[in-house]
Chain A
Amino acid sequence: MSGHIVTVDRIACDGFGTCAQLLPERIILDEWGYPIIDPTPVKGSEHQHAKRAVNACPRLALKLVKAPHDAPARPVAQRR
Chain B
Amino acid sequence: MNPLWLATRATGEISLVLFTVVTIMGIATTKGWASSRWPESVVTLLHRNISLLSVVFLGVHIGTTVIDGYVPIGWLDVVIPFQTTYKTLWVGLGTIAFDLMLAVIITSLVRRRIPQTLWKGVHWTSYLMWAVAVVHGLGVGTDQLLTRVLAAAMTALVLGAVVARFLTPHRQDDPVVSVTTRTEIRR
Contact = CB atoms under 8 A, between A and B. Distances in A.
Interface range on chain B (Cβ under 8 Å from partner): 20 to 34
A34 to B, nearest CB: 9
Given A29-B185, A60-B116, A16 B171 contact: yes
A14 B112 CA distance: 17
Contacts of A58: 29-30, 44
B181 A22 contact: no
A33 B41 CA distance: 14
A32 B173 contact: yes
Interface string A19-53: 01110100011111100000000000000000000
Contact of B32 (A14, A24, A32, A56): A14
A45 to B, nearest CB: 20
A3 interface: no
Contacts of B179: 31
A32 B39 CA distance: 17
B178 interface: yes
> Which residue of A16, A24, A32 has the most chain B CB atoms within 10 A of its CB atom?
A16
B37 interface: no
26 contacts: A14-B32, A15-B32, A16-B32, A16-B34, A16-B40, A18-B40, A18-B41, A20-B185, A21-B39, A28-B182, A28-B186, A29-B181, A30-B178, A30-B182, A31-B179, A31-B182, A32-B173, A33-B178, A56-B41, A56-B44, A56-B45, A56-B48, A58-B29, A58-B30, A60-B111, A60-B116
Nearest to B178: A31
> Which residue of B48, B116, B171, B178 has the most chain A CB atoms within 10 A of its CB atom?
B178
Interface of B: 29-30, 32, 34, 39-41, 44-45, 48, 111-112, 116, 171, 173, 175, 178-179, 181-182, 185-186
Given A16-B40, A18-B41, A28 B173 contact: no
A21 B42 CA distance: 9
Contacts of A21: 39-41
Contacts of B41: 18, 21-22, 56
Contacts of B186: 28, 78
A18 B44 contact: yes
